[in-house]
Amino acid sequence: MANDITFFRRFQDDIISGRKTITLRDASESHFFAGQFLRTGCYEDDSYFCTIKVISVTAVRLSELNEQHARQENMTLSQLKDVIREIYPGEESLWEIAFSVVKVA
């Protein structure tokens, strides 16, 4: 069965443990909606590691990211902005997908 959303493997433990409770994505992944259950896999090999429930999907600009976003991503604000710029170079419009883990592989 295919995964609905993927994360870099380096985020897997933070997601499973509940230390990472949001993800920031570009418009190509803005179609998710509250209440949706998503099979979650590793970006590198698409291996399934958990199922998450989407709590909310909210538009946010890179310039609006704050310490709360960073805490929800389990990193500093500086680290968060660096990661976003690395993954989505030049992108200012993002989508915050808040989620909770409902099942671990």
Q: How many CB atoms lie within 10 A of CB 63?
A: 7
DSSP 4: S
Q: What is the pLDDT of residues 37-90, one digit of tens each?
A: 999 999 999 999 999 999 999 999 999 999 999 999 999 999 999 999 999 999
Q: All domains of the chain, ordered by start, with CATH?
A: 5-104 (2.30.130.30)
The pTM for the full model equals: 0.95
Mean pLDDT of the 14-22 span: 97
Residues marked active site are found at 20, 23, 73
Tokens of 17: 């443990």
- The per-residue pLDDT for 90 is 95
In this prediction, residue 7 has a pLDDT band, given cuts at 50, 70 and 90, of very high
Q: Is the pLDDT of residue 1 over 90?
A: no
- Return the percent helix, strand and coil in the chain, to nearest 5: 30, 35, 30
d(CA 21, CA 101): 8
